[in-house]
Amino acid sequence: MELVQPAFGLVFWMLVSFLIVLFILGKFAWKPILKALKERETSIEDALRSADKAREAMENLKADNEKLLNEARAERERMLREARDTKDAIINEAKGKATTEANRLLQMAREAINNEKQAAITELKNQVATLSIEIAEKILREQLKDSAKQKELAEKYLKEVKLN
């Protein structure tokens, strides 16, 4: 029976000491420990969450970079193409212009040549006419030196001129 009879002294010391321990540990041990555990858990959770976020941001950044790179590549392609096109256009234009200019100059030269030629021909004609007249004058003078011949010629023309 002794086993199941609580001793007064033991219960007294037990309650007193337990309550003191409860108070001291509650204030100086459990409170800081539980607080620290909670803080650590939140900080771990935060760290995990921010790591997730960072990874997501990294992925976004990577995608962005990829996009940017692709865009840059496309842009370069476009610029190259444009440059080529422009170059071709410029060359073609230059070629065209040169051709027309050459043609124009050729035309002008031809016209000038023609004009010169006409002028030369005209002058030649005039000179030929003058020379012919002088020659004719000289021939006539030679032939009509004696009066007999002048008379004969006059007669001949008179004969020709029929008095009709």
Partner 1 sequence: MNKVLGGVVIFLSLFLFSASPVSASDVHGEKKEKFSAGDLIIEHITDNHDWHLFGHLSIPLPVIIYKPGNGLQVFSSSRFEHGQASYNGFHLDAKNHIVAEDNGKFYDLSITKNVASLLIVIVLMLVVFISIAKRYSENKNSAPKGLQSWIEPIIVFVRDEVAKSSIGEKKYEKYMPFLLTVFFFILFLNLLGLIPLAPGGANVTGNIGITMSLALLTFIITTISANRNYWHHIIAMPGVPVWVLFLLTPIEILGMFLRPFVLMIRLFANMLAGHIIALSFFSLIFIFGEINQWLGMGVSVVTLIFTIFMTMLELLVAFLQAYVFTMLSAIYFGAAVEEHTNHEHPPHAEISEHIEEAAMV
**Contact residues: partner 1, CB under 8 A:** 2-15, 17-18, 20-22, 24-26, 28-37, 39-40, 43
Minimum distance from CB of 11 to partner 1 (Å)? 5
What DSSP character marks residue 126?
H
Q: Cα–Cα distance between 143 and 58 in angstroms, integer? A: 123
Residue placing its CB nearer to partner 1 in the complex, 34 or 158: 34
Minimum distance from CB of 50 to partner 1 (Å)? 14
Residue placing its CB nearer to partner 1 in the complex, 9 or 141: 9
Minimum distance from CB of 28 to partner 1 (Å)? 5
Task: Answer whether 89's CB lies under 8 Å from 95's CB.
Answer: no
Amino acid at 85: D
Give the Å distances, CA to CA, from 87 to 75, 81, 83, 96.
18, 10, 6, 14
Amino acid at 70: N
Residue placing its CB nearer to partner 1 in the complex, 12 or 67: 12
Residue placing its CB nearer to partner 1 in the complex, 13 or 116: 13
Residue placing its CB nearer to partner 1 in the complex, 9 or 161: 9
Minimum distance from CB of 46 to partner 1 (Å)? 10
Minimum distance from CB of 7 to partner 1 (Å)? 5
Instruction: Kindly give the residue spans of alpha helices, DSSP state H, lying in the chain.
Output: 8-25, 31-143, 147-160
Tokens in use for 41? 């858990």
